[in-house]
Amino acid sequence: MLKNQINEIRDEALQAFKGAASTKELYDLKVKYLGRQGSLPAIMKKMKDVSPEERPLMGQAMNQAKDALETAYLKFEEELKRGELTKRLSEEKLDMTLPGPPSKLGAHHPIEMVFDEIIDIFSRIGYYVRSGPMIETDDHNFGALNIPPEHPARDMQDTFYIDEEHSLRPHTSPIQIRTLRSEKPPFYVLGPGGVFRCDSDVSHSPMFHQIEGLVVDKKVSMADLKGTLSYFASEFFGKSIKTRFRPSFFPFTEPSAEVDCSCPLCNGKGCRMCGHTGWVEIGGCGLVHPNVLSASDLDNSEWQGFAFGMGIERMAIIKYGISDIRLFYENDNRFLEQFRR
Ligand code: PHE
């Protein structure tokens, strides 16, 4: 009877499955008995010789045999897999004390370093940081800073306009206005940030950085301003640095001055960096114009102040002797790696 043959093959296969030593061996046995050329399917070919009565019985036996083998296969496979995994894990030894692959340390960007250092120097004398958006209103950028509508600073050639009312801030001075209007004096504020002007060559970039300083208190004088910026320059560039103040003009300060310090590269003797003058300019400053205070609803007979603005790229160029402003924005590692702290 074919049915008996089927059952014999089934039992033989089950026995063989049980004895398989690896998943690979088990799989080969599955192919041998159940595969397309396997011994069980081979019996199907004999179907045509079977009497019609016996056929259903044979089909049934065939299906049962196949099911039994499939189930047994899955069971043994699972067991073998588990055994193989345990064996592999016990053989593979991980040395947790081995050093990992070296991780590359990044370097601070010189612009960030200069910001950090300036903020650090001023925070030692009580200053704190405030900020503002890069897209500013006309009033914050100009109007409230006493810059009249016809002033050249408002010109499209200098300022990137977004629309009639808004532009990319061309300086950090709007942070003065935001502070004056949102907090109560006294103020000892720093306003660091990115600024934008239509300008581009070796010493100008359309996007650069400034830091604003604003002090508002009772009885603030030009002497306080000079003392503060001299303190800053000697902390930032070195004790031997001298400062000088040249009369200048800004609509939002009165009187106004430009601050120079003796060239830290040649110690004031004259070199390429300072254009052989012995002095380098570090920023603009002055006493806060009374109109700026009153435009922000502060009583200008009660409060006085000074403000200053410095270019960060300029400070970095002077401090590190950098020849081209574009180096700051190219992300060339050979340049940036030199500023590892
Ligand atoms: N905002 C001026 C500039 O961008 C700098 C400045 C700030 C001058 C504060 C005086 C007081 O050139």
Is 196 a pocket residue for ligand 1 (Cβ < 6 Å)? no
**Residue 263 main-chain phi, psi, to 5 deg:** -60, 115
* CA dist., res. 111 & res. 232, Å (int): 17
Q: Select from 96, 100, 83, 106 the least CA-distant residue to 26.
A: 83
Q: Is the pLDDT of residue 156 over 80?
A: no
Q: Which atom of ligand 1 sits closest to the CA of residue 310?
A: 5
Span 295-309, pLDDT tens digits: 999 999 999 999 999
Q: What is the pTM of this model?
A: 0.71
8-to-11, 41, 43, 340 alpha-carbon distances in Å: 5, 14, 12, 78
Is 176 a pocket residue for ligand 1 (Cβ < 6 Å)? no
**Atom 5 (ligand 1): residue with closest C-alpha?**
309
Asked if residue 80 lies in contact with residue 23, where contact means CB atoms within 8 angstroms, the answer is: yes
Mean pLDDT of the chain: 92
Distance 20 CA to ligand 1 centre (A): 85
Distance 283 CA to ligand 1 centre (A): 7
pLDDT band at 321 (very low <50, low <70, confident <90, very high): confident
Is 285 a pocket residue for ligand 1 (Cβ < 6 Å)? yes
Q: Residue 328's pLDDT is what?
A: 94
CATH architecture of the region 110-336: 2-Layer Sandwich (3.30)
**Atom 7 (ligand 1): residue with closest C-alpha?**
309
Q: Is the pLDDT of residue 197 over 90?
A: yes
